[in-house]
Amino acid sequence: MSDKYTNMEDIGEFEFIRSIQEGCLFSRERLIRGIGDDCAVIGPYDGKALLVTTDLLAEDIHFIMKNIDPEHLGQKAVAVNLSDIAAMGGEALHLFLSLAIPGTLQVETLHSFYRGVKAMCGRYRVNILGGDTSSSLDRFIINVVVIGHVPESEVLYRSGAAADDYIYVTGTLGDSAAGLKLIKENLSVSESCASSLKMAHNLPQPHLDAGRRIASSRMATAMIDISDGLISDLRHVCDASKVGAIIYQEEIPISKELRALGDTGKLDVLSLALSGGEDYRLLVTVPDEKAVLFEKMFENGEPCQIYRVGQITRAGGIRIVSPDGSERQAEIEGYEHFSQSRL
């Protein structure tokens, strides 16, 4: 189809990115990795690679202003970018923040938002070095750029997974998507359960400490953060590594809060865990001969729990193995801009 007659809804976010990737590089000096991973990788400088990531959050696409504490929104805006640094095994250093602000937005709301930004940056010792401010007609738009670094030999990409590697995730899945459902809909569940799930959506925690531990161990072959959903982000790893995968349904980690919500019969817990998105866990592949040592690094649940959920295969595609041993092709996709509305 000619571009003249194709709109963004027809091709989606990822196909559009692929369509513009060619012709972006004019100099490869000090460039290690450009478009196509969680961060651009530049350097090395004194043995370390610079990591650069950016993310944009748009009101009514990524968040509903009336349904989130502005301070939590500030923390989330930082956290989703720190998660990209974590996915490359890096340490976050500096942040730039740009805002497009509706004239009707209260100044105290912005001050609260910045308190959240500063709180998350302070927790990880990330400097706020500047940015830009503009007016917006009617929506609050947030853009964050984070710079980090990592020893060059420890950078983890999406493209290193190999057949027979085990697949791990650094925490439970589906809580954020369930929290969004609870924010939007009046579902019957205990207040403590609802609060926990909503917090998972509004205040995700980047797994920077786990990312550094994994990278410095040099046991992993590939890593990505789970922002668009387990299946969608695993597919990115498989495509980049030219492999396939199997996921064992019984091994997918689901929190007790999400199970309680699933028991009401109003939500498909498995679908949320597979494709809900915005969990910001890390997905890691590890050779089978290193699996025991890898799991031992996390045996005390610090800095987080890890779960083995599947294995990389030579054959392409992603298959899901049910508890009875039957298999099916994974058809559930995660979030993709233009193909659906996040909110």
User: Per residue in 29-48, pLDDT tens?
Assistant: 889 998 889 999 999 999 99
Residue 154 is given by DSSP the state: G
Sequence-separated (6 or more) residues with CB below 8 Å from residue 307:
168, 169, 171, 172, 251, 252, 253
The answer, yes or no, to whether residue 298 has pLDDT greater than 50, is yes
pLDDT in tens, 130-172: 999 999 999 999 999 999 999 999 999 999 999 999 999 999 9
Spatial distance between the Cα atoms of 117 and 119, rounded to a whole number of angstroms: 6
Mean pLDDT, the chain, as a whole number?
92
Asked whether the beta carbons of 297 and 210 are under 8 A apart, the reply is no
3-state secondary structure 41-75: EEEEECCEEEEEEEEEEEECCCECHHHCCHHHHHH
Q: Which two tokens stand for residue 58?
A: 């748009």
| Strand-pair partners of 223 | 284
Give the helix/strand (H/E) hosting 101: strand 91-102
Spatial distance between the Cα atoms of 88 and 85, rounded to a whole number of angstroms: 5
Least confident of 39-48, 74-83, 284-293, 328-337: 328-337
The answer, yes or no, to whether residue 337 has pLDDT greater than 60, is no
The answer, yes or no, to whether residue 310 has pLDDT greater than 60, is yes
pLDDT at 24: 75
pLDDT at 1: 47
| Domain 166-329 CATH superfamily | PurM-like C-terminal domain (3.90.650.10)
pLDDT at 339: 58
Mean pLDDT of 220-224: 98
Ordered alpha helix ranges (H), 191-298: 191-202, 208-217, 230-241, 256-262, 269-275, 291-296
The answer, yes or no, to whether residue 193 has pLDDT greater than 50, is yes
Please, what's the b/e burial string for 221-236 (b: 16 or more CB within 10 A of its CB; e: otherwise)?
bbbbbbbbbbbbbbbb
Q: With cut-offs at 50, 70 and 90, classify the pLDDT of residue 333.
A: low
pLDDT at 186: 77
Helix (H, G, I), strand (E, B), or coil: what is residue 292?
helix
pLDDT in tens, 78-136: 999 999 999 999 999 999 999 999 999 999 999 999 999 999 999 999 999 999 999 99
Q: In terms of residues, how long is the chain?
A: 343
The answer, yes or no, to whether residue 16 has pLDDT greater than 90, is no
Percent of the chain with pLDDT over 70: 94
pLDDT at 281: 98
Spatial distance between the Cα atoms of 308 and 42, rounded to a whole number of angstroms: 32
Sequence-separated (6 or more) residues with CB below 8 Å from residue 217:
293, 294, 297
Spatial distance between the Cα atoms of 163 and 179, rounded to a whole number of angstroms: 35
What are the boundaries of each domain within the chain? Answer: 3-154, 166-329
pTM: 0.91
Mean pLDDT of 273-290: 96
Q: With cut-offs at 50, 70 and 90, classify the pLDDT of residue 341.
A: very low
The answer, yes or no, to whether residue 340 has pLDDT greater than 60, is no
Asked whether the beta carbons of 246 and 185 are under 8 A apart, the reply is no
The answer, yes or no, to whether residue 308 has pLDDT greater than 60, is yes
Sequence-separated (6 or more) residues with CB below 8 Å from residue 240:
36, 37, 157, 158, 159, 161, 222
| Strand-pair partners of 1 | none
Higher-confidence position of 324 and 19? 324
Spatial distance between the Cα atoms of 174 and 253, rounded to a whole number of angstroms: 9
What are phi and psi for residue 232, nearest 5 degrees? -65, -45
The answer, yes or no, to whether residue 12 has pLDDT greater than 60, is yes
The answer, yes or no, to whether residue 264 has pLDDT greater than 90, is no
Report the CATH architecture of 3-154: 2-Layer Sandwich (3.30)
pLDDT at 282: 98
